Every structure is written in structure tokens, then in C-alpha cells.
Chains A and B, each alone.
Chain A
Amino acid sequence: MARSISYREAINEALAQEMERDSRVVVFGEDNVGGTGAPGDIDAWGGVLGVTKGLYGKFPGRVMDTPISESAFIGAAIGAATGGLRPVAELMFIDFMGVCFDQIFNQAAKFRYMFGGNAVTPVVIRTMWGAGLRAAAQHSQSLLSVFTHIPGLKVAAPSNPYDAKGLLIASIRDDDPVIFAEHKMLYDTTGEVPEESYSIPFGEANVARDGGDVTIVAIGRMVNTALEAAAELAGSGVEAEVIDPRTTSPLDLDTILESVENTGRLVVVDESNPRCSLASDISASVAQEAFGALLAPIQLVTGPHTPVPFADSLEDLFIPDVPKIVGAVKTAVDWSK
């Protein structure tokens, strides 16, 4: 029987296997070891949610703590990538991009183009995203669309342990800067993950469920929610195809278009804010490329245009859920009747 491990363990295993394979891979970030310079245990944390736990013991000198100076150490990862290392830096929460964004979008993302193709920047920035942990407005955002907007960055958002391992290995081997977005509510989810090393190519969506009546494109954690909704819809005779893009840059638009050509209906589920979002981007592309196939207006299921609230009663309302997705699908299906 295939082995089942958690999303957290899958990421840790990908890091360990790549560090074993390639001595140029280094890992650093705030408390990625945990306890450096302190009187107690070393490797006390292994990252704030334990994702890098144990790597320090296996690869001493290649897993490092940093001061809380995101500009300096994210920038250092980028500089080191131009100097022969393949760094994996951890930006603890995606929300913290605000204090280091220049290094990511004006430096790393631009080197290759603005230097006329004469730069290679193989850096991975792991970062935690998404709502649901009652972490409030500055620790819960879904800012993937901001990174996806920037030419020169690749963006991965795995929705399950298998993809997390394969996409992280692909990210580390990639010569371009990669934003590797780990959804904080998925760390304890489990799934089948091969022990051997493997990589998943960027820009290849996963069709998580086949169906002929409606296409649901969902990002990150929303893939699971969409699959739950699809199961419920199947009970009422509506077969939804659920597509997980896996990477938002590059985006596998072909798989989405192919599905919409077949189903005639599209629902995009993304927990981020709605304006200038992945949902609006995907829907615009489909409207442009597959207008003739559409039987109903494209439906977007997103968070509202607000910060993420703290109180559980409000945060639960913020995050798209099964009833909202089912409702959107029914709107699309009913429209064409």
C-alpha cells in the first residue's frame, strides 16, 4: 500500500532530498532552525510551523536562522542564487511580502530580462498563505495574484501532499525565481506520496475530478472545497470537472479551455479578494478565448473585498465554502436551462 504522509512532511522530504542531491541547495529563514544563539535546544522549531524541522541535523551549515530582516535575507537569497547557490528562503507569511517586495519584483524577477538574458536566478521563496487559522488580517492573505502579475516570477500553489513534494523539487531545480506558496490550512492534510524523488512540471494543471456539466477551477485549499462541492452536486445529477492549476504562473490555460469547451460553464473558486485576482484573470481569459462555448455567465466565488477578519464567525463567512460553490454552479447550470 502506498505511503501516506502530510503536506508538511512532503515539503520537508522534498527539501531533504534536494539538499542530499545537490550541495548548492541551502535553506534559511526566520527560525528555520530555531534556537540559534539561544541557551536551550537547537532545531527547537524548524520553522514556525515545523516544516524545516530536522533538516539542521542532517545538513549542518546549510540550514540557517536569520534575523527578522526580510529585505536583507530574501535579497541575500536572490544574490546568492546569482553566485552559484540554489537557496530556498522562507518568507514566513506571504503577508510579509510588504517588507521585502522590492527584492522580489524589482531585483529577482527582472534580472534575466533587463540584463539581456545574461542572468540566472535559481531562488525559491517558500511562503505560507491563506485564511482559516484565525490569524487575522496580516497573517491570512492570499496574495498569489500579486506575484502572478509580475513577469519573471513563477508561482506554485500546491493543494495536496503529492503536488507539494513534486512542485517543490521542480522549483528548486528551476533556474528562475519561484514563489512556492504553501497553504497554512493544508499542512496537516495527508495523502499518498512516493518516497522516491520526483518533480511535477510547472504549467500543467491537474484535473482533480472529471465531469461534463461544469468546470470548476480552484486554487490551493479551495481545490478540496471544490471537490466536496462536486460530490454534493453529483447527488443532484450535476457532474463537475474540478481543475487545479497547481501553478498560477505559468498558468495552464489550455486545460481550462479544453474543459470549458466541453462543459460550457465555468466557476472559478479563489479565496483571495476579488478585484484583479486569479479568478478575474482566469475568467477574462476564458471569456476571450472560449466565448463561443459558454452557455452561461462565468461565476466567481471569492472572498469579499475586505481584509481577512479575525472572529471565527466572520472569517468563516470570508472563505468560500461548499454552499457558495454549489450555489454558483447552480446559477450557471440554471442559466442555460
Chain B
Amino acid sequence: MTGTLRNPVSQELGPDQLLEAYRMMRTIRDFEERVHEEFAGGDIPGFVHLYAGEEASAAGVCLHLDDRDAIASTHRGHGHCIAKGVDVLGMMAEIYGKSTGSCKGKGGSMHIADLSKGMLGANGIVGGGPPLICGRALASKQLGTGGVAVAFFGDGASNQGTTLESLNLATVWNLPAIFVAENNGYAEATSSTWSVATDDIADRAAAFGMPGVIVDGFDFFAVHEAAGEAVARAREGGGPTLIEVKFTRYFGHFEGDQQLYRGDEVAQARDKLDCLKRFRARVTESGQLTTDQLDTIDAEVAALIDRSVAEAKAAPKPAAAELLTDVYVSY
């Protein structure tokens, strides 16, 4: 059942959707590049894992989703949050640990969530999300909302028992779930060519009785098409799908990672494969969008990111009383 898609087409995407896709990916890219700079400046505490390079996956999947739908993310979750509509200003403030953050500064980069948007959280536990997504898909099915649930996870999590159990459960319960394996080549510093026993993660779909597809993760249109098929199948009661998205991340596992284990794939990817460059070239060459339209988005996004950083830096830290709130009981 595993296979690559035929040459993807994007005819169903109108100009507004293309602009939305581009804005989404540009926002993720600029957000991550800026966090990279700001982290180096020493203002951002803790652990930060950046999604730059992988934008086409979050955007290609989430453009199919609406308020009925839920996603679970990973430690590398900023892109998924943005693609699912989490407020960028709140996200940046959260990363700075400020009271105006998405989680009032109590979650941080690895736990940004907005359940009102169906975003179940970035997740500090590798493989933490897939079981939760089975539950969200079950809830949609039981309550008849028509919603689907998407688990984003990495090549590292593809080797976790939680993920494999969830793939099985999703088929056994015939859940409206989509499993998106984002294979960026490395689980921390370990190559997925070594740590994943099969040639491709998508090969594992057959073992769990679901379709598995491999897509070029630098190609927004490829991801969008594969996700569209999977989401439609799930909404129609056809059960889960495993999509393997292949690409590389532009930064290290975490900010501060010297990346001594890597080759020169980032420079090559940025130059030749980059999802934003390819998107721009494709939609302008086809005449679907103009360079001016895209440049306008670039300027708007740049202003938004500037504002998010300025506001985050200016915002107050959580008050001391917040230490003891949001738990059910204090001793």
C-alpha cells in the first residue's frame, strides 16, 4: 500500500488559499528564524526546538482542517501551532515565559497549546501525541462532529511504542485519524536511516492495515494533496492514514546544538529545495499569484514578528501567585 504519489496537482487551490498557505509558511519561517536570533542573544530561557525547513508539512496538512479538527504536536511544535491558528503574539510571549503567553508563561516552547483552536499542545515527550489523537478521533466519531484528528510526530517517535500502539488502535477502532510522520532525518543526533528499521516509515502502515504514503516535505503541494486524500477518507469513515513527510530541518535538534553529526544538507536544502522558494516559483510562474502579492505578505509577516518580539519582551513575567493556580488543589 505504500507508495509515492503521482506528480501532484494543485488545481483545487484558489488564489486566496494559496495566499493563506504562503502566509502560514512565511509566518512559521520568520517566527523560527527570529527565535533563533533571539535565543542566541540570551533572552529566551529553556529548551527551544525549531521547525524551519519543515513548513510545508504543517501548512499542507492544516489547510485541510477546521474548528472541528484537532492536532497533536511535538517538541518541535511552533509550526504546527501557527498552522492551526494559535495566536502568534501569544506564542512568542509564551516562549519568553511571559504572563501574556498562550499558557500564561507556565508552559513554554514545548507546551504551547490552544485547545479552543483544536491544538492539543506541543509535547515534550517523544511519542506523547498519537494516543491523544486516537482519543480526539474517538470523541469526534462518538459525538458525530465530522472532525478528524492529526498526530504530527517525528522519525524518532515513529520508533516509540505509543505511536505503534496508536496506529493499531486507530485501525481497530476505525478512527478518523491521520498520522503524519515528519522524517527530518534525525532523532536528536541519530540518523533515521539507522534508527528506523524499515526503509521508510510509511512502510509500517501496511502492518497496521492502513494506507501509507511518502511525500516530498519540501513540496507544499505534495503534502497538501496527500493530506487532502487522508482527511477526506477519515471524514468519510474510511479510517486512518499514515503519511511520511521527508525533509530536513534547518537548525539543530535544539538551539545550541553544534550539529557536528550533520553533513551539508542544510545548505543544499536552503538553496535548492526550500519550500518557500519552490512555492513562490511555482505560483508566480503559473500566473496564479504575483510577486507583489507575495512580497506584501512578506512585509506583513515581518512586521507581525517584530511586534511579537517587542511585545513579548515588554510583557510582565507571571505573578508569584500563578505558581499555585491551575491545579485542582493546593496543600
With A115-B113, A154-B328, A250-B329 known to touch, is A75 a contact of B132 (CB < 8 Å)? yes
Give the docked Cα–Cα distance between A84 and B139 (Å).
6
User: B111: CB under 8 A from chain A?
Assistant: yes
- Summed over the interface, the residue pairs from A and B with CB atoms below 8 Å come to a total of 162
State whether the Cβ of B102 lies closer than 8 Å to any Cβ in chain A: yes
**Are B326 and A112 touching (Cβ within 8 A)?**
yes
CB-based nearest A residue for B104: A116
Query: A83–B140 contact, CB under 8 A?
Result: yes
Closest residue on chain A to residue B94 by CB atoms: A116
Q: Which A49-71 residues have a C-beta within 8 angstroms of B? A: 61-62, 64, 66-67, 69, 71
Nearest Cβ distance between residue B122 and chain A, in whole angstroms? 10
- Contact: A119 with B113, CB < 8 Å? yes
Q: Measured between alpha carbons, how far is A106 from B114 in the docked complex, in Å?
A: 17
Chain B residue, CB-CB nearest to A249: B329
Q: Is the CB of A67 within 8 A of B125?
A: no
Contact flags (1/0) for B91-129 with A, using CB distance below 8 Å? 000000000011111110001011110001101110010
User: CA separation between A75 and B113, bound complex, in Å?
Assistant: 17
Residues of B within 8 A of A112 (CB): 326-328
Does residue A26 face the partner (Cβ distance < 8 Å to B)? Answer: yes
A72, B325: Cβ atoms closer than 8 Å: no
A102 at the interface (CB under 8 A from B): yes
Beyond A62-B142, A82-B120, A113-B326, is A102–B113 a contact (Cβ under 8 Å)? no
Measured in the bound complex, the distance between the Cα atoms of B123 and A85 in whole Å is 22
- Complex interface: chain B residues within 8 A of A250 (CB): 328-329, 331
Residue of B nearest to A99 (CB): B161
Contact A79 B173 (CB under 8 A): no
Task: Give which listed residue, A77, A87, A103, contacts B162 with CB less than 8 A.
Answer: A103
Say whether B168 faces chain A, with CB atoms less than 8 Å apart: yes
- Are A107 and B132 CB-contacts (below 8 A) given A80-B138, A118-B114? yes
Complex alpha-carbon distance, A253 and B330, angstroms: 12
Given contacts A102-B128, A103-B162, A203-B329, contact A115 B135 (CB under 8 A): no
Cα A231 to Cα B143 in complex, Å, equals 52
In the assembly, what is the distance between CA of A152 and CA of B329, in Å? 8
Any chain A CB within 8 A of the CB of B131? yes
User: Once the chains are docked, how many angstroms separate the CA of A116 from the CA of B104?
Assistant: 5
User: How far, in whole Å, are A118 and B87 apart by their CA atoms in the complex?
Assistant: 14
| Interface size of A as a range | 35 or more
Tell me whether B106 and A79 are in contact (CB under 8 A): no
- Is the CB of A114 closer than 8 A to any CB of chain B? yes
Q: A106-B125, A115-B107 are in contact. Are A75 and B115 (CB under 8 A)?
A: no
Is B308 part of the contact surface with A, judged by Cβ < 8 Å?
A: no
Give residues of chain A (77-111) contacting chain B, Cβ–Cβ below 8 Å: 77-85, 87, 102-103, 106-107, 110-111
Instruction: Report the bound CA distance from A87 to B325 in whole Å.
Output: 25
Cβ of B165 < 8 Å from any Cβ of A?
yes
Instruction: Report if B134 contacts A (CB, 8 A).
Output: yes
* Among candidates A67, A79, A83, A111, residue contacting B131 with C-beta atoms closer than 8 Å: A79
Asked whether B134 lies within 8 Å of A75 as measured between CB atoms, the reply is yes
- Residues A114 and B128 in contact, CB atoms below 8 Å apart: no
Indicate if A176 sits at the interface (CB-CB under 8 A): yes
The residues of A that contact B124 with a CB separation of less than 8 Å are 106
- Known contacts A79-B135, A110-B111; 7 additional CB pairs below 8 A are A64-B173, A76-B135, A76-B169, A80-B136, A102-B128, A114-B106, A176-B328
Point out residues on A near B: beta carbons under 8 Å.
24, 26, 61-62, 64, 66-67, 69, 71-85, 87, 102-103, 106-107, 110-119, 151-152, 154, 176, 203, 249-251, 253
A-B pairs with beta carbons under 8 Å apart, 13 shown: A73-B169, A76-B131, A78-B135, A79-B134, A79-B139, A83-B140, A84-B143, A85-B135, A114-B111, A114-B113, A115-B103, A115-B113, A115-B121
In order of increasing CB-CB distance, the 5 nearest A-B pairs are A75-B131, A79-B135, A83-B139, A79-B132, A116-B103
